[in-house]
A = this chain, B = another copy of it.
Amino acid sequence: MAKSGLLETCDALCETLTDAEDALTREIVTRLADKWSLWTLSVLAGAAGPMRFSRVMDQVEGISQKSLTKALRQLERDGLVTRKMFAEVPPRVEYAITPIGIEMLEQVAPLWTWAAKSVHRFQAARAKFDGG
């Protein structure tokens, strides 16, 4: 698989990566797009402290238990959130965003902001394309 491309600055860096590293980089960026990961992460970022599973589920509207579990596991595996389990009955589990998770959101914010600002240009392009 070839390196990622993009612009020159980024390109040069990407060329220094092994194939495994390049794949992981792509995977991390890709995670931005899946339906729930980013939203879940941002909910944890917005909280004052750690959150229980069910609190997260309340705030990420529309998510199923299954999808939330999966999203949280992935985020945990990549070091973006922490998971703390308490040996109690009923069980309590607390999730919190990590410094790397916050970094990640800080990287995404400008892109998202740009997209939001550009939304009318995209709408215009689509109207033109769909119309004729």
Contact = CB atoms under 8 A, between A and B. Distances in A.
A1 B132 CA distance: 31
Interface in A1-59: 1-2, 4-7, 9-10, 13-14, 17, 21-22, 24-25, 28-34, 38-39, 42-43, 45-46
Chain A interface mostly = helix
B126 A77 contact: yes
Give the contact-size bracket for chain A: 35 or more
Please give the count of copies of this chain that the complex contains. Answer: 2
A119 interface: yes
A93 interface: no
Contacts of A32: 29-30, 32-33
A31 B33 contact: yes
Interface stretch (A64-72, A84-92, A108-116): A108-116
Contact of A6 (B6, B42, B123): B42
A21 B115 CA distance: 10
A128 B77 CA distance: 8
For the complex of A and B, 3 pairs with smallest distance between CB atoms: A33-B33, A79-B125, A5-B42
